[in-house]
């Protein structure tokens, strides 16, 4: 049996619609019930948006000390960008606010845009993000209709491959550094294409040395806890 109090690292395939904190809270509550304890440390190593799925690293007990190092490791994602439409949140959390005609694009044009994202660069986070600004989350200002200009992050993209078979949808695989917002990349990709863009799906497949293939679903983990 796993020793959650001494420290474990769990690899969870986060379900669509759950926040990262939903997963942490669900796991913490079930461990406390199983062990009949009042307290146990549980945390995650890198937030996933509610509309994203995939690898979420959960640490318990003394393993929570490993979280800071894990957060700093490169991540890999797959997903889909829809060209021709934009939303304020850069994903489907908010409704489409602009629509553009999408002319046929050559692979040369798309390849040029793809290459422009490789390497170290400055990236502005989405206004609908959890960035702290004067003690409040940026998304709180956004929901109040208050305009903000967020400071850019220095990020690095070491892999960015695209497939335009279902154009104007662009599927991709990306490997990137800590602090990279894939929603901002989708928005910027659309801007460079001149037609706007929205992230419509996202899945984390790797985090550091851990892979989604090693993960467990929440459903399976809860079943194992009940045995």
Which residues does the annotation mark as catalytic?
A: 49
SS3 216: strand
Report the alpha-carbon distance of residue 105 to residue 25 in Å, rounded: 45
List Cβ<8 Å contacts ≥24 apart for 38-43. Answer: 40/4, 40/5, 43/67
SS3 96: coil
Are 86 and 197 in contact by the 8 Å Cβ rule? The answer is yes
Strand 42-44 versus strand 9-14 pairing type: unpaired
Q: Which residues pair with 85 in a beta bridge?
A: 99
């Amino acid at each position: 049996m796993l020793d959650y109090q001494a420290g474990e690292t769990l690899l969870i395939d986060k379900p669509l619609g759950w926040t990262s904190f939903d997963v942490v809270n669900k796991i913490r509550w079930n461990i406390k019930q199983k062990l009949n304890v009042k307290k146990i440390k549980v945390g995650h190593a890198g937030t996933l948006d509610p509309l994203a799925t995939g690898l979420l690293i959960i640490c318990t007990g003394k393993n929570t000390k490993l979280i800071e190092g894990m957060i700093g490791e490169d991540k890999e994602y797959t997903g889909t960008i829809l060209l021709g439409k934009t939303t304020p949140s850069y994903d489907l959390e908010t409704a489409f606010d602009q629509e553009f005609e999408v002319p046929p694009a050559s692979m040369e044009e798309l390849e040029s845009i793809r290459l422009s994202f490789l390497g170290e660069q400055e990236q502005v986070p989405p206004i609908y993000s959890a960035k702290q600004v004067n003690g409040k989350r940026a998304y709180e200002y956004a929901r109040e209709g208050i305009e903000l200009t967020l400071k850019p992050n220095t990020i690095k993209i070491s892999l960015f491959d695209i497939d335009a078979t279902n154009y104007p949808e662009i599927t991709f695989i990306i490997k990137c550094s800590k602090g990279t917002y894939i929603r901002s990349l989708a928005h910027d990709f659309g801007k460079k294409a001149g037609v706007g863009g929205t992230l419509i799906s996202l899945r984390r497949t790797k985090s550091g040395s851990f892979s989604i293939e090693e993960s467990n679903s929440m459903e399976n983990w809860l079943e194992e806890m009940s045995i």
